[in-house]
Amino acid sequence: MEQHKCRAVLRFFHRSVHPLQVYLSALEAKEPAIRACYEWPNHLAPPINPEFLDMILLDGCFLFEYSGELPRQKE
């Protein structure tokens, strides 16, 4: 699964007109709100800032790219 996510990030940034830092800065500004959407088990500490932002960027790019590959349903 991680290979698919990494490929999605590469595809996303290949088409993007903005550098990686623009996206990381935007995520960092929204980090408290994003973090509040997650529950962490008591035995598992939440990832620290850079790891968390990397995880969100990786998963977000994957979901964005994957949703673009889904067939569109006609309404």
Domain carrying residue 27 = 2-69
Number of structural domains the chain divides into: 1
Instruction: Provide the token pair at 14.
Output: 């290949």
Q: What is the mean pLDDT of residues 59-73?
A: 79
Instruction: Tell whether the model's pLDDT for residue 12 goes beyond 60.
Output: yes
26 alpha-carbon distance from chain centroid: 12
Residue 35 lies in a domain: yes
Number of neighbouring beta carbons within 10 Å of residue 57: 19
- Tens digits of residue pLDDT in 36-48: 888 877 666 667 7
- Residues 47-56: tens digit of each pLDDT: 777 888 999 9
Q: What is the pTM assigned to this prediction? A: 0.74
In a domain, residue 74? The reply is: no
In a domain, 22, yes or no: yes
What is the DSSP annotation of the chain? -HHHHHHHHHHHHHH-SS-HHHHHHHHHHHHHHHHTT----TTSPPPPHHHHHHHHHHHHHHHHHHHHHSPPPP-
Is the residue at 41 inside a domain? yes
Residue corresponding to tokens 């500490």? 45
